[in-house]
Amino acid sequence: ATVTVNKQQYESRGASIHALSLHMQDFVKILGLKHRREVAGKSAIFSGENFVLEETDWYLLNLFRLWWHYGISFLRLQMWVEEVMEKFMRIYKYQAHGYAFSSLEELLRSLGGDAFVNMTQRSVAESLLEVGVTQRFVDDVIAAVLRSSYGQSVLVPAFAGAMSLAGAQGSTWAVEGGNKLVCSGLLKLTKANVIPARVTGISLHSSEGKALYQVRYESSEGQGSAFYDMVVVTTPLHPSRTNFTFENFEPPIADFPGAFQPSVTSVVHGYLNSSYFGFPDPKLFPFTSILTTDTPDLFFNAMDNICPVNISAAFRRKQPQEAAVWRVLSQQPLDKQQLKTLFRSYYSVQVTEWQTYPRYDATKSLPPIVLHENLFYLSGVEWVASSMEMIAVAAKNVALLAYNRWHQDLEKIDQKDLMHKVKTEL
């Protein structure tokens, strides 16, 4: 729930803080991890009655189909996403030079001006229609991507939508053995002192006129607490949080408005019912990933034929008529009739229900980064966009912000015209 740092430890770890400025690929190389091998497969978008778009093995044919159905909307989409991502990538230069931001608005403004801040207040559909993307393309393709990633509609904010669409265009990373190895590898690399316990609350005290935080926690050995000069809170501070309190703060630290989107992941080992998708002969079913349009009668958001986290050179996907492992994403648990609709028969079903992403229509305000003098909040960045990369950027920003504030290096915080400053520093 929290990351805590003592004064002596913090002042001796400038090098490890600087290491966080590297990209995910560099993390993987430093940690000795391998890029997970990709297994070829085709995707399609299902409307509940038929496939509105199907991927083929031929790149030029795919482009022709996109043009035939949607004109140059896909080119306008790509140009829009690339423009957003090109500006977003500035954050890595800023952080490499030690610059930090005390609010999410300041961070966004440094990357793309007020336009980036406004992208958290207006929908991705509205933004794309403005740049010439057709309504049909939004309803078919954009809706399908957002349903599979955020489990929400095209009304999500434009910035979150851009991040989701960028990830859908390929060239993303996965680690052999599972992405969780990045976290465990970083903990091992930094030699962090991890206390295996659940934090229950933080109370404010003072020492020599400076804030001192008492962190209370529960573990298998019972209750405990410790005092820290600096605390980073990473658990979401929304109304549904339980057994986590702030004490002695004036004004009080209240819950932030907003809620999280419930999501259900069902991992099914069974035989796909290809007839439901219009293929009576299962041997002819060509797709390994199925996205869906925003159709009221559809009870699932997406499904895909998944592969192991470790992929050997001899690995091959199951043939469509064979039993395979499918992941089905939905907003409600699938009942037996719905499972029977998707699968002719199945051996096992493993269901995980969780609060995945912010429900972006629940609030328009962004949470703060600084809760108190040396008390920082990391997870608010999810209300800008939720992804591993965004959390990594936010973590780096909090580390730099805490470091610069501790050493009173205010010239490295919330600076304007940073692109010019970085160029002159080079």
Residue 313's alpha-carbon distances to 306, 309, 317, 417, in angstroms, are 16, 13, 12, 49
pLDDT tens digits, one per residue of 160-170: 999 999 877 66
Calculate the average pLDDT of the chain.
Answer: 88
Pairing of strands 2-5, 343-358: unpaired
Inform me whether the pLDDT recorded for 19 exceeds 50.
no
The separation between CA 246 and the C-alpha centre of its own chain, rounded to angstroms, equals: 27
pLDDT tens digits, one per residue of 320-350: 999 999 999 999 999 999 999 999 999 999 9
- If one compares 308 and 420, the residue with the highest pLDDT of the two is 308
Triad 212, 217, 223: Cα angle to 5°: 115
pLDDT tens digits, one per residue of 225-268: 999 999 999 988 877 656 788 999 988 988 788 888 889 999 99
Nearest to 351 by CA among 336, 364, 341, 366: 336
Domains of the chain, CATH where assigned? 1-425 (3.50.50)
What mean pLDDT is predicted for residues 169-193? 82
Residue with tokens 């648990």: 333
Is residue 133 a contact partner of residue 76, using CB atoms and an 8 Å limit? yes
Helix (H) or strand (E) holding 218: strand 210-219
pTM of full prediction above 0.85: yes
pLDDT tens digits, one per residue of 302-320: 999 999 988 888 888 999 9
pLDDT at 241: 58
- If one compares 5 and 265, the residue with the highest pLDDT of the two is 265
Is residue 326 a contact partner of residue 303, using CB atoms and an 8 Å limit? yes
Task: For residue 31, give every residue at least 6 positions away whose Cβ sits within 8 Å of its Cβ, in sequence order, or none.
Answer: 181, 182, 185, 186, 189
Confidence class for position 371, pLDDT limits 50, 70, 90? very high
C-alpha 395/C-alpha 406 separation (Å) is 16
Using CA atoms of 364, 333, 347, 272 in order, give the dihedral in degrees to the nearest 10.
-70
Residue 35's alpha-carbon distances to 26, 96, 103, 191, 311, in angstroms, are 11, 24, 34, 24, 11
DSSP 35: B
